[in-house]
Structure 1
Amino acid sequence: MTLTGKITIMKRYNTAAGPLDIEILGHSSVIMHWNGQVIHIDPYSEEADYSEQPKADLILVTHHHSDHFDPDAIAEIRKKDTVVISTEKVAHALEGVTVLHNGERTTWNGITIRATPAYNIVNMRAPGEPFHIPGEGNGYVMEIDPLRIYIAGDTELIPEMSGLEAIDIAFLPKDVPYTMNDSMFIEAARVIRPKILLPYHCPKPRIDRTMLRNALPGMTIPEE
């Protein structure tokens, strides 16, 4: 159950092992249901009551900021055999984390997971101090045959996006000043060229999907 006033968005996609159901709880919190497994991404207690969410087989945490790394939410959904994949900073604060650095990959239950860079170039907390420092945070490319899913994490448009190939589904953030503004978001989508674009980490009111569809013809941008 999500918190009062929250809307859970469920999408279904086909894979070789059966349907992949993607549940978007809000902010950057996502749940994937696939092949009898439950995958949580950036569980955050502000978006849902995690005591009522399904237990996790896999948890992906993009970085250490409190709206992405929520130890209380993780404790509610973590089992003895839950695999948690994240960054070094998260591993320093939480026991039993498998660390993936940018560019590294691993496999889990038939899914290939590769960590990708996620950082700011333009938006700064203070002069010379980006909101997200290169190398500290991850995005993830998940290969769930035949789908390639990109979870961008907290990032702007960055050069490494041009190396992402054959992305079927992309979660891209749009939340000034922490991630991307409209023009960055649209250009990132043009660079990555996903078949399906799922905006996330968005402020209220939600972004103008009609504007995005006009700017990105041929790309599927589902309704919320």
Structure 2
Amino acid sequence: MTNRNEARSQRTGHELMEEIRTTVVPYGTAAIWFLGQESVVVKGGDTTIYIDPYYSSGEGTSSRAFPPPLAPQDITQASFVLITHEHSDHLDPDTLSVIAEQCPESVFTAPVCCHNVMLEVRIPEARIRPALTDEWVDYGSFRLKAIPAAHEELDEQEGQGHRYVGYLLDMNGVMIYHAGDTVVYPGLLERLQEQAVDIGMVPINGADAFRRSKGIVGNMGFREAGDLAYEAGFDLTIPLHYDLFPMNSEKPGYFIDYCYENYPYMRNKVMARTERLIYVKGS
């Protein structure tokens, strides 16, 4: 007999897309779907935004701990796509090329150093926007500000801006922060404290010398992530970047335990793969 959790894990990419398409998101709310690593879908009103969509299942992806929750071909609705940096688990050419073809109105924002790869997979230049840091850009249905990220160091390139970024989304009356890949660097907390962040999504996988020796660049660990969320005043914190590669993972329960012991009134949520979260501002 198949239990409810097994049935949920077996739903198709088409069923997931249908849920995203039909979910009604009134003003003052936001819908979020977690699709592994740092890939999330955010919906507010009629706007659907993909952040770091990584759904390839071909060559070079065999080290994934679990198969993609949907295929790129399943994506039939995307208003915007935000890319935080050029690493393949964040900028996935095979996924982006399909989104560009199947969602002809979609717009792509990424650091300038990513643009050549995006052009190579036939994303029209007119649909690509630079992720200019510390500047609000108004797209009508939402405002967007790229925030510098340090993976593990800040890397600002002349004429191209920051190589790594996170994003602030002011969308549907809800302020959302997606950190991308970053450690806590001087100035990050102050940037976040300037905003009233409702939902903060932060990596927790950490870094160490042994992973660096294998070329694995790290992020903040679960303790830093909890401290940052508390000091920045996030209303709800969602941990990211802990589940996809066994060599670069973390147990999200460590993050929950740390926050429970140190910040018992801080709200946190570990999301199941493909789970939908409906956030209601002020609830």
- Partners in 2 of 1:15 and 1:150 — Cα distance? 20
- Partners in 1 of 2:75 and 2:258 — Cα distance? 34
- Point out the more displaced range, 90-99 or 193-202: 90-99
Deviations 1:162-218 (A, max 9, x none): 221211100000112211123322221122110000001114553112332322222
Gaps of 5+ in 1: 124-129
| RMSD over equivalenced CA pairs, Å | 2.9
Preserved contact between residue 177 and residue 199 of structure 2 (Cα < 8 Å): yes
- Whether 2:211 is the aligned partner of 1:171: answer no
Alignment of 1:147-186 (within 5 A): 147-159=174-186, 160-164=188-192, 165-177=195-207, 178-186=218-226
SS of equivalent to 2:35: strand
Report the CA distance between 1:90 and its aligned residue. Answer: 1.0
Gaps of 5+ in 2: 1-7, 57-67, 120-124, 157-161, 208-217, 244-248, 272-283
Deviations 1:2-57 (A, max 9, x none): 99799x8x9999652x6421100010111122222221110002533221234311
Q: 1:65 aligns with which of 67, 70, 87?
A: 87
1:115 aligns with 146
- Tell me which amino acid in the other structure corresponds to 2:33: E
Preserved contact between residue 51 and residue 82 of structure 2 (Cα < 8 Å): yes
CA 212–54 in structure 1, closer or farther in 2 if over 3 Å, else same: farther
2:231 aligns with 191
1:74 aligns with 96
Q: 2:265 aligns with which of 208, 218, 223?
A: 218
Preserved contact between residue 44 and residue 172 of structure 2 (Cα < 8 Å): no
Structure with higher strand content: 1
SS of equivalent to 2:104: strand
SS of equivalent to 2:105: strand
Preserved contact between residue 226 and residue 259 of structure 2 (Cα < 8 Å): yes
- Partners in 2 of 1:54 and 1:180 — Cα distance? 34
- Partners in 2 of 1:222 and 1:175 — Cα distance? 16
Kindly indicate whether structure 1 or structure 2 has the higher relative contact order, using CA contacts under 8 Å at least 6 residues apart: 2
CA 14–81 in structure 1, closer or farther in 2 if over 3 Å, else same: closer
2:53 aligns with 43
Report the CA distance between 1:105 and its aligned residue. Answer: 2.4
The structure that has the greater radius of gyration is 2
Instruction: Report the count of equivalent residues.
Output: 211
CA 207–223 in structure 1, closer or farther in 2 if over 3 Å, else same: closer
- Partners in 1 of 2:234 and 2:35 — Cα distance? 21
- Tell me which amino acid in the other structure corresponds to 2:268: I
Preserved contact between residue 143 and residue 149 of structure 1 (Cα < 8 Å): yes
Preserved contact between residue 115 and residue 140 of structure 1 (Cα < 8 Å): yes
TM-score by length of 2: 0.66
CA 157–205 in structure 1, closer or farther in 2 if over 3 Å, else same: closer
Identity %: 23
TM-score by length of 1: 0.82
Report runs of 4+ in structure 1 exceeding 6 Å deviation: 2-6, 10-14
Preserved contact between residue 62 and residue 87 of structure 1 (Cα < 8 Å): yes
- Partners in 1 of 2:132 and 2:97 — Cα distance? 23
